[in-house]
Amino acid sequence: MSIEQDAQGAIELLKSETLKRAFAEIEADVLSIWRGSTYSETETREKLWMQLQALEMVKSKLQSMVDGAKIAVANAKLAAENNKQEN
């Protein structure tokens, strides 16, 4: 799959209302359990924290794919302009 195809897929996912809702519900559920945990449930809270971090990593990776494609397109345009000027 090309960078552009990855980016297009990532854009579609980031715009997906279903995915946004799923992410929001997961975050709300995890935070609810976290807030309801007791002082002695350290391991449970750590696992919940890792789940939130994993969710953020997915969001960040999708955005990174979009941004990477934008940079690749900009670099390709610059390279094409430089080639025109050299010829």
Identify the residue whose tokens are 């350290």: 42
Q: What is the reported pTM?
A: 0.79
pLDDT in tens, 16-57: 999 999 999 999 999 999 999 999 999 999 999 999 999 999
Tokens of residue 76, six digits: 């390709």
32-52 burial code (b ≥16 CB/10 A, e <16):
eebeeeeeeeeeeeeebeebe
Rounded Cα distance, 20 and 24, in Å:
6
Residue 36: the pLDDT is 96
Entry field: residues in the chain: 87
Provide the mean pLDDT of the chain. Answer: 92
Domain regions of the chain by residue span? 3-86
